[in-house]
Amino acid sequence: MRPGRFGRCAAALGTAVLVTAALSGTPVGAAPATVEVRLIAFNDLHGNLDPPAGSSGEVTLPDGTTVEAGGAAYLATHVAQARSEADHSLVLSVGDNIGASPVNSALFHDEPTIEFLDQLDVSAAVVGNHEFDEGYAELQRIQSGGCHPEDGCQFREPYDGAGFPYLGANVTFEDGRPALLPYTVERVQGVPIGIIGVTLQDLPSLVTPEAVRGLAFGDEVEAIDRTADLLDRAGVKAQVVLVHQGDETEGGGPDECAVTPGPASEIARHASPKVDVIFTGHSHQQYNCVVEDPAGNPRAVLQGASFGRLLTVADLTIDRVSKDVVRSATEAHNRVVTRDVPPDPAVQQLVDEATEEVAPIANRAVGTITADLPRQGAPSGESPLGDVVADAQLAATAAGGAQVAMTNSGGIRAGLVHASSPAGEGDGVVTYGEAYSVQPFGNVTQTLTLTGAQLKAVLEQQWSGEETRMLQVSANLHFTYSASAPVGSKVTEITIDGQPVDPGASYRVTVNNFLAAGGDGFTGFTEGTDVVGGPVDLDAFIDYLGAHPDLAPPPADRITQVP
């Protein structure tokens, strides 16, 4: 907590106490019966220090219009404003602060982002799946400090680590020992507030096996209940959960609750009634909901989109005697991080420094496009940028025998926009930094053999999880799916180079190593044989852009959706 954050002018405070005493009968000098605390949260920042471009930098308002939002310096200004409106406040992060980041954070192993979070005075963060992108040892370095073991300290020397704890109550070693702190406690005016962090149980399906080797991820509700009981026995009655898991929405503005009930709602309905508010993340959605806990009491369940575009604010009233939250008095809202405010100068200086240091690499032109290549898909789930990435991976591995290529939508992290960036490279020019934002993971392409039957089984797995995850496919692979058909029987009319796929024939398929290991629930790829490694996905993408100047968005004709 920053010194003086909760201070007020002594004369004004004295006047307020006298007026309150006169109206309520409280003796002059006595502490008020309640403590008001503002919680300010954000989720899925992904190292977006600069304002995100295109649709990734917009927020949809209730009337369907959009407003530009996001950017670390603007986020800092809005946090400061939200703090100024309350006597007591805490800033919290709901995971994926780092990983899948733009180049001015990623090339420094996201150390600039951690420094930014320290400037925001973040009190606690839960780990998201992307905190594990480079493995547990790197997460420990991010937490505790020290130079990167291979690249050294490239941004600050020394790197001091995060000034806040990373939490994970359901993250253990395989022998059951805690791998991360399960909670932290903040005291506001002598009243303790417990902050519990849990991440999604199926996190191992979202990262490479090497990244989480030796770790186990337990049930979210069990971890919340266990930790809530522990805090309660210690006298910590006011409890907040940061859960890196979320629901999908059916549209709506930042403060609407048009959610499709999913894993976050399930957790909120079943987690301990000792918990008073739940901040969620992971699904990059915006919603402000109230869900009844197992005792039938309402509690706020919120999420603030992603990339620093929204702040989620919950105002709590805590009874000084019981030390618990007066649930009926909770008020919550999502606040748009607009760009019509002055950017915070200290944060802007940090962002400018990181941007200037990577500029010689980031601003190098690698290709040209004739129009935007968005990562968002057509109704079928096919996206222009997904088409290009899949085509690039096939082009990079065709000489080695690859016949088709497929990639996961989640591995494509940002769209390409035709308009010039502030760096001034010119309209239609794609820079290395922009290409890096599209493919930031450094996954290696792998070509493997699947039978036609196995290929169909993989395509059916697009609907096997809690949410649909569409694969993006190369131009010579086509298929049709029925939205109303049962899971496991949705896909028909699969062709490669215009010929129907033979269930008994063998096909050479290129994917990234994440998919090859069964990532995103595509376990069918693990049945592939004769695996041969290829180039890094980013290199394949850049080579393809260079070989196809003035690249236009491909027609969305590879995936056909029928009723």
| Residue 57 and residue 13 in one domain | no
Position 14 pLDDT exceeds 50: no
CA gap 82, 331 in Å, rounded: 14
Q: Is residue 72 part of a domain?
A: yes
Cα angle value 513/365/539 (rounded, 5°): 15
CA gap 261, 247 in Å, rounded: 6
Residue 169: CB atoms within 10 A of its CB come to 28
User: H-helix or E-strand containing 277?
Assistant: strand 277-280
pTM metric for this prediction:
0.88
CA gap 387, 409 in Å, rounded: 10
For residues 515 and 207, the answer to whether their CB atoms sit within 8 Å is: no
CATH value at residue 411 = 3.90.780.10
| Residue 66 and residue 23 in one domain | no
Average pLDDT of 195-215?
A: 96
| Residue 172 and residue 72 in one domain | yes
CA gap 229, 225 in Å, rounded: 6
Tokens of 390: 């899949």
pLDDT digits (tens, 9 = 90+) for 405-457: 999 999 999 999 999 998 899 999 999 999 999 999 999 999 999 999 999 99
Domain containing 502 equals 367-562
CA gap 429, 538 in Å, rounded: 17
| Residue 23 and residue 77 in one domain | no
Q: Which phi and psi angles does 520 have, rounded to 5°?
A: 60, 20
Position 20 pLDDT exceeds 60: no
Q: Is residue 514 part of a domain?
A: yes
pLDDT digits (tens, 9 = 90+) for 268-318: 999 999 999 999 999 999 999 999 999 999 999 999 999 999 999 999 999
CA gap 245, 170 in Å, rounded: 13
Average pLDDT of 212-235?
A: 98
User: H-helix or E-strand containing 246?
Assistant: none
For residues 36 and 304, the answer to whether their CB atoms sit within 8 Å is: no
Overall domain count for the chain: 3
pLDDT digits (tens, 9 = 90+) for 117-129: 999 999 999 999 9
Q: Is residue 227 part of a domain?
A: yes
CA gap 21, 9 in Å, rounded: 18
| Residue 387 and residue 427 in one domain | yes
pLDDT digits (tens, 9 = 90+) for 516-529: 999 999 999 999 99
Position 28 pLDDT exceeds 60: no
CATH value at residue 230 = 3.60.21.10
At 30 the pLDDT is 59
At 32 the pLDDT is 84
> Chain-centre distance of CA 44, in angstroms?
3
Q: Is residue 359 part of a domain?
A: no
| Residue 24 and residue 42 in one domain | no
Q: What is the DSSP letter of 380?
A: T
How large a percentage of the chain has pLDDT more than 70? Answer: 94
| Residue 42 and residue 117 in one domain | yes
Q: Is residue 69 part of a domain?
A: yes
Average pLDDT of 10-35?
A: 45
| Residue 59 and residue 77 in one domain | yes
Count, residues in the chain: 563
Range from 19-28, 176-185, 351-360 carrying the lowest mean pLDDT: 19-28
Stronger pLDDT, 346 or 20, i.e. the higher one: 346
Q: Minimal CA–CA distance to 332: which of 129, 99, 44, 41?
A: 41
